[in-house]
């Protein structure tokens, strides 16, 4: 058994549910991929924005708007100790905000900009740092990919372990067809949404000190209406819009996915997996059914679910079979209503705080998944009480008191 850690902290079935019932993309395939990423070490003059220290803000505003030009004038106007003001002015001079000429203090251009924007801008010369670009089109990755506690970028030994792992699902690497486009570094200067891409306020004199290709684990869901890419950051509850768009615009990736598995082989694998699973449950008489969209489902009687059978929360969920899957269903509406309550209890009952809007969206999504009309919070509150779901009951009671 492999001891390699799991690349995803959530099951692939979660993203299928989100794609189908949260995003309106009826899934037909799911792939576990390692997308190529350029890890680029750069050297540059950078400008970053910070919060002002309280005294610094007042001193710079005094220089900008108050007609104050000396340490004595600043100390007297703000009723501060002269030594404290002198120390603060030395600091502001050191970071390039204040300059002195003929005994008079004034703000530099950087200081003027900081006061006007109410952000303390700091310039670091020849700063070295790493930036990340997806390697399919050399677009920068968003800020979430810099959180090492959440996102895993694989290279060297860690990549080897991931490829040798015998855990399911097996991740398949994709590769860049060309080297890193260094013009991508210069394009960063024109981005208005810098914070979203973990970029400083300004980048000047940028140069690459080296590039290495690393790999980012993702789930890619394909459907007739498009595709969605799910990374580690959102734990399967939301797709990555930038990576989804990049993959849609990469024909060589789409072609590789099309050629990976023949349709007949994929259907046969789903059937084998579903029939084996049904035999283990003692349901040999139940046959998998193929829908008009090419996906498979298994319709189970109500008696299969309960304390001695399958959890009712499995109704409407998926089971993987390679890159395909089949969906578990129950035609009994009462069991599906029980499933809705239990799923809501799992998602809402233990949470300390959830808004009425968030709860309503979850109810609507799970109702779609279970083929039910979305009930009101009042009806759910009563049902939670009757079924002894105290955590859910308390949460719904609180939400009922909120204004819609």
Q: Are residues 99 and 61 in the same domain?
A: yes
Q: Are residues 130 and 112 in the same domain?
A: no
Q: Are residues 97 and 203 in the same domain?
A: no
Does residue 177 sit within a domain? Answer: yes
Does residue 158 sit within a domain? Answer: yes
Q: How many domains does the chain have?
A: 4
Does residue 56 sit within a domain? Answer: yes
Does residue 378 sit within a domain? Answer: yes
Range of the domain at 281: 263-329
Domain end (from 203, 238, 260): 260
Q: What is the pLDDT along the chain (404 residues), one digit of tens a residue?
A: 344 457 898 999 999 999 999 999 999 999 999 999 999 999 999 999 989 988 999 999 999 999 999 999 999 999 999 999 999 999 999 999 999 988 899 999 999 999 999 999 999 999 999 999 999 999 999 999 999 999 999 998 888 888 887 777 889 999 888 899 999 998 988 888 888 899 998 888 999 999 999 999 999 999 988 899 999 998 889 999 999 999 999 999 988 888 776 555 778 889 999 999 999 999 989 999 999 888 999 999 999 998 889 999 999 999 999 889 999 999 999 999 999 999 999 998 777 788 999 999 999 999 999 999 999 999 999 999 999 999 999 999 999 888 66
Q: Are residues 306 and 337 in the same domain?
A: no
Q: Are residues 211 and 308 in the same domain?
A: no
pTM score over 0.75: yes
CATH number at residue 97: 1.10.10.10
Does residue 353 sit within a domain? Answer: yes
Does residue 7 sit within a domain? Answer: no
Query: How many Å separate Cα 227 from the centre of its chain?
Result: 16
Does residue 1 sit within a domain? Answer: no
Q: Are residues 239 and 275 in the same domain?
A: no
Does residue 214 sit within a domain? Answer: yes
């Amino acid at each position: 058994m492999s001891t390699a850690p799991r690349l995803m902290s959530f099951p692939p079935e979660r993203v299928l549910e989100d794609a189908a019932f949260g995003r309106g993309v009826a899934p037909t395939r799911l792939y576990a991929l390692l997308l190529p990423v350029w890890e680029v070490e750069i050297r540059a003059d950078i400008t970053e924005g910070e919060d002002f220290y309280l005294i610094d803000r007042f001193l710079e505003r005094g220089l900008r708007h108050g007609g104050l030009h000396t340490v004595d004038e600043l100390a007297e106007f703000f009723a501060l100790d002269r030594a404290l003001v002198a120390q603060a002015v030395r600091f502001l001079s050191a970071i390039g905000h204040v300059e002195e000429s003929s005994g008079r203090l004034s703000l530099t251009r950087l200081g003027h900009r900081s006061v006007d924007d109410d952000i303390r801008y700091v310039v670091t010369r020849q700063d070295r740092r790493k930036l990340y670009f997806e390697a399919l089109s050399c677009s920068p990755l968003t800020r979430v990919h810099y959180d090492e506690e959440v996102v895993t970028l694989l290279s060297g030994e860690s990549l080897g372990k991931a490829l040798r792992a015998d855990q399911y699902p097996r991740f398949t690497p994709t590769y860049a067809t060309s080297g890193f486009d260094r013009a991508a570094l210069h394009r960063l200067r024109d981005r208005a949404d810098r914070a979203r891409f973990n970029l400083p306020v300004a980048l000047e004199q940028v140069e690459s000190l080296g590039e290495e290709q690393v790999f980012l684990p993702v789930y890619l869901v394909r459907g007739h209406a498009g595709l969605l890419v799910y990374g580690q950051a959102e734990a399967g509850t939301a797709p990555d819009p930038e990576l989804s768009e990049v993959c849609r615009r990469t024909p060589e990736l789409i072609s590789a996915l099309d050629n990976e598995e023949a349709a007949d082989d994929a259907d046969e694998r789903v059937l084998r997996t579903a029939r084996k699973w049904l035999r283990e449950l003692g349901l040999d008489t139940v046959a998998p059914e193929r829908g008009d969209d090419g996906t498979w489902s298994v319709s189970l009687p109500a008696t299969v679910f309960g304390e001695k059978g399958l959890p009712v929360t499995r109704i409407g969920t998926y089971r993987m079979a390679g890159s395909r899957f089949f969906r578990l269903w129950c035609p009994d509406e009462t069991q599906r209503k029980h499933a809705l309550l239990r799923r809501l209890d799992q998602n809402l009952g233990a949470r300390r705080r959830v808004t009425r809007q968030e709860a309503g969206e979850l109810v609507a999504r799970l109702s779609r998944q279970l083929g039910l009309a979305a009930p009101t919070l009042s009806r759910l509150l009563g049902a939670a009480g009757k079924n002894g779901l105290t955590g859910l009951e308390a949460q719904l009671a609180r939400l009922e008191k909120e204004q819609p």
